Amino acid sequence: MPLPYAKPPLSQQLPKHLRSGKLRTDIISPRLCDDAIQRLAPSLAPYVGCTIIDENPGVGLWSSKLHEFLKPRRHVLLERDKRYLPFLQPLLNAPGSRYKHLDWGYETIRHPDAYVKEGVIPTVQEAKAEGSLMLIVANYAGQKASKLERDIGSRAHLKAIDFAHAARQSEAFNVYGPTRVLMWASDTDRKYMIPKATIDRNKIAAYLEASFHVEQIVGGGNKGNQKSREDAIELESRRRVAERMANEGIVLPPDRRFVLEDVLCNSSTISRSWHRELEELEEGFKSQKLSQFEGQPPGPLISFAAGRRPKQYSETTPEYKRWRKLDNVLKGENKQIEKVNQYLRRQDEIDQLDLEAHRDGIDPNTQAELLTELDAKIKVYKDAISILREKERFRLNCMDDERRAFAMDPPLLMWDRRTAEPLLTQPDEFWPSYNEGLSLVDFQTIDPQPFPMTDEQSFCFDIVTANLLGISASSDIKSLGKWAPGAFEALVPQVPAFTDPRKGGRRDAESIRNRTLTPEMLYGLAIAWDKWLFKPLFSSPGMTQSGAEPMQLRRGARQSV
C-alpha cells in the first residue's frame, strides 16, 4: 500500500532534524514518482513479482510507489537511520505486508548469503524455481564518501563501480541472474556515470559501459553539458532519440520535456555562456536603448577620428566596453574555430579513406594501394598539426573526439544511445530543495556479458582503465608508456580494434585519445596486459600517480598485476 501522504506537504511533515539539509536528499513528489514509473513501465513488466533490495528508502515515497506497481514477492528496506522509521512503519505494519526492514551496515548489504540466512530472500535455487528477478533500488543523493572511499569519489560512484564488478564477475546479487539497478544520485554524480560529452568521460563511465546499458530516466535535461559539443551533434542526437520515442510510443508529459534553446549557433562555432550576453548588448545598442558614452542619453553609435573626440564623449559606458570586448573575443574565436575546422575536414577525409580501405570484400591489391595513400595523407596531416598552438590543438582534439565518438556504431556515449529524453524535475520535488536536481539512473545488465573475464583479467581491466581514463584521459594512447615502459609497442598491436575504423579505431592508433577508448579496446588491453611478461611490479609508483585507486593497488600481496 502507498504511504498515506496527506496535507501538509511531505517536506513539512519531516522533523526538523531531517529538514536541516545535512542528510541525504529525499524524493517527496508523488507525481514525479508516478511519471518515472510510467516512463519505466514497459521495461519493468518482467519485474512484477520480483524481489526488491531497497537501500536508503528514506521517507519511503519512491519505495511505496514502486511496490504498488511491481507487487514484489518481498521488499527489503535497508534503512540504518532510525529517524526515518516513523515514515516506514506504516508499510511494515500493513496487513499482509511484504516489506522487511534491516538496519545493516554497508559491508553486509552486498552479500546475498546474509539475506538468505536472515530469511528475507530465497536461495538461488528457490528464486529460479519461482521465476522471480532481482531489482536493486538505491538513493545515494547527498551522501558523502567515507575516508576510505574518497579516492574514488562519491558514494554513488563507489556503488556504481561495485555494481559493474559484480555484473562482470556474476557476483553478489548477480548469482540470481542479471540484476537491474535503479539509483537516485546527484546530477554531478550522474555526469560521470552517463557523460553527455567525451570530455567528461572517465574510468567510471568505462566500467559501466562494459557491463550495462545505462540510461538517465529522470534528470535535468541538458544540464552539465552546456555547449560541450557542437550543435550539429546535439541536434542529430536528439533527432535520433525522438525517432526512437516515436517508434516505442513513448510520450513525456509536456512539463517534463526538455526544450532546446531558441537560438542555436552554427555547427562551425562553439556557443558559450557570454554569447547570449553579446547578442543582448548588440541588440541594446542597435535599438538605441543603451548609451555609448557616460552622461549621454542613448542614441545612434558615434565614431570619431583619432584625437578629435569632444570632451563630453571622453568616457564610454561599461556596457559599451563590454560589448566591444566580447565582439573582439568572438571574432578571434570564430577565426580560430574556422582554422580548426579546416583541419577537421582533412581528418574526415582521412577517416573516410580508412573506412574505404576496410570495407568488406575489398580486393587485397586495392586495399594495399589505399593503405599506402592513407599513410601518406596521415604523415602530411601530422606534420601540419604539429605547428598548431596549444589552445588550437586542444580545441582540435576535443572537436575531433566528439565527432568520432558520435560517428561510431553504436555511438560511444551511452547518452547518445538513450531510449528517451530524461524527465525534467523541479527543485521542490526533493528535500532539501535541490537546485542542481537529482537523476534517476537505470543500470540494466547486458546478458550475456560482452566481455567475459577471469578474476585476474577483471583486475587488469580495472588497472588499465583507471590509469588510462584517470588523470590522463585527455592524453593519447601512447601515455601507456608513461606508467608501463614499452606497453604501447607491446600491447596495442595485440588489439585489432585499435586500427579498425569500423570499431572506433584508426590506422594511426597513436592519434586515439584515451577518453575515446571503447570497452572493446580496454578489454583487449586488459587481456594483453594479463599475458605481458614485462608488466611493471604491482607496487610501481607510476601506476598510483596515473590514477589507479589505492584500494585496487592494495588488493592482495601480489607483486605484479
Cα 425 from Cα 176, distance rounded (Å): 34
- What string of DSSP letters covers 448-492? S-SS---HHHHHHHHHHHHHHTTTTTTSBGGGHHHHSTTHHHHHG
Beta bridge partners of 53: 76, 136
Instruction: Output the pLDDT for position 283.
Output: 83
Q: Is 500 exposed, middle or buried (0-12, 13-18, 19+ CB in 10 A)?
A: middle
Taking CA atoms, 182 is separated from 138, 141, 211, 241, in Å, by 6, 13, 15, 21
Taking CA atoms, 279 is separated from 136, 181, 272, 273, 285, in Å, by 48, 45, 12, 11, 10
Number of H helices, E strands in the chain: 20, 9
Cell digits for 372? 599506402
For the chain, residues with pLDDT lower than 50 are 1-8, 20-21, 221-226, 261-271, 539-561
Instruction: Output the pLDDT for position 512.
Output: 95
What is the b/e burial string over 448-478, where b = at least 16 CB atoms within 10 angstroms of the residue's CB?
A: ebebebeeebbbbbbbbbbbbbbebbebbbb
What is the amino acid identity at position 323? Answer: W
Cα 272 from Cα 328, distance rounded (Å): 14
Instruction: Output the pLDDT for position 182.
Output: 98
Instruction: Output the pLDDT for position 35.
Output: 97
Beta bridge partners of 181: 136, 443
With 0.95 as the threshold, say if the pTM is over it. no
Instruction: Specify the residue for cell string 561495485.
Output: 162
Instruction: Specify the residue for cell string 524527465.
Output: 423
Beta bridge partners of 293: 316
Cell digits for 126? 528457490
